[in-house]
Structure formats: structure tokens, C-alpha cells
Amino acid sequence: MTANMKAIVFDIGNVLVRWDAHLAFTGALGSREAASALMERIGFSALNLRADAGETFADLAAEIADPEDRALFAAYPANYHLTIAELLDGTWALMGRLRAKGHPIYAITNWSAETWETGVELHPGLGSSFGVTIVSGREKVLKPEPEIFARLCERAGLTPADCLFIDDSAKNVAGAAAFGMDAILFTTPEALEIALQDRGLL
């Protein structure tokens, strides 16, 4: 890889695909407010992170005492497609421009192994756009652990210094930087375009 060429490593959720977990529950509960109350009641964020780390939604649901809440959470994988309906087209356009400039494109995502195939079925580009895709639920290791970045480098034949990592989580960006990657905190496609231009990548 030449000195001025970088491999671009994208996060996916809320960078390339908008993710809103509330939408899995609003149909059954009738409002976003009711969905928020459920998610707070069951500790959804922590449960979802455990799913991203490789646990099954059925096993996690079994920990929820209230039977109605348990049933709602257990149905999350079946309703998952509702949570990722929208692509962030501006980021996809930037990714296409980066690829046209000769930059290899990869992905590291905190995503359940159970729901990843739903994502690929709904948005086929997720299955075809990346030279290597590291899915945390399959790997059973989460960002920002160093091991997940190491697996990308090993499989893609890269060093950390070869990579520019883009993620909407400040914690994950800090983890990538600590591992030795250049890293950008994603906010909007417009801000990302400026950051890429500042690095001479576009």
C-alpha cells in the first residue's frame, strides 16, 4: 500500500444504515414513548450489547421477569428489519468516491450474529461492499476492544497505520486510535466529507 493510500474502515450502524431500536416495539406498544419506557424498564441497551457480543436474544429474553416484556423483547429479531429501514445515502456516496480513488473499503460493526443476515437481506450492499467485514456477534468480541481491530488487520493484511476508522461512537473512535489507526468521529456525511478532504483522501 502506497504512503498516501489508506484503507477505510467503516462502522455500519448510524454511519451507513440508520438504526432506531424503538421501531421494533412501537407497532405493538402504540407510541415511541411506550417503546422508550419498555427499553428503559428491561435495560435494552445492556441486553443488546450482550447480543452484539454473541449471546442469543432467546437467552437474554429469559432473564426478563415480566412475561409481557419478555415476549416483546423476544420478538425483537423478528421485527429487526423495522429498525434499519433507512440508508444514510450521503455516506454511501462518500464510500463510492473513496473506492473510485482506489481506497480499499472494510467494515467493523457491533451487530448481533442473529440479526446481521436480516441487514444483508434488506440492504444487499452490506454483503458486497467490504473487502473484509468483522461482525462482533460472530467474533464474540466488541468494539472498542483491541482484539476486534486486530482481527480486521490480520484478515485484511493491514497494519493499524494503514487504516482510517470511521464510527459514530466516541468510545470506539478512541479505541481505534489507541490501537494505532487514524480515526474520525462520524456525525454527518457532510462533516465526514470535510474530514476526508482534509486528509487528502477525496
Share of the chain above pLDDT 90, in %: 97
- 114: nearest Cα among 135, 130, 84, 134: 135
* Domains with residue ranges and CATH for the chain: 7-18+86-198 (3.40.50.1000), 21-83 (no CATH)
| Model pLDDT, residue 4 | 56
Say how far apart CA 97 and CA 102 lie, in whole Å.
9
The pLDDT value recorded for residue 2 is 40
Give the bridge partners for 8, in sequence order: 105, 164
pTM of the model: 0.95
Cell 440492504 locates to 123
> What pLDDT, on the 0 to 100 scale, is given for residue 187?
98
pLDDT at res. 5: 64
Cβ(91)–Cβ(189) below 8 Å: yes
Q: What is the pLDDT of residues 142-188, one digit of tens each?
A: 999 999 999 999 999 999 999 999 999 999 999 999 999 999 999 99
pLDDT cut 70: percent of the chain above it: 98
Q: What confidence tier does 96 reach under pLDDT thresholds 50, 70, 90?
A: very high
For residues 66-75, average pLDDT: 98
User: What sections of 8-66 are H helices per DSSP?
Assistant: 26-29, 32-42, 44-52, 57-61
**What's 188's DSSP letter?**
-
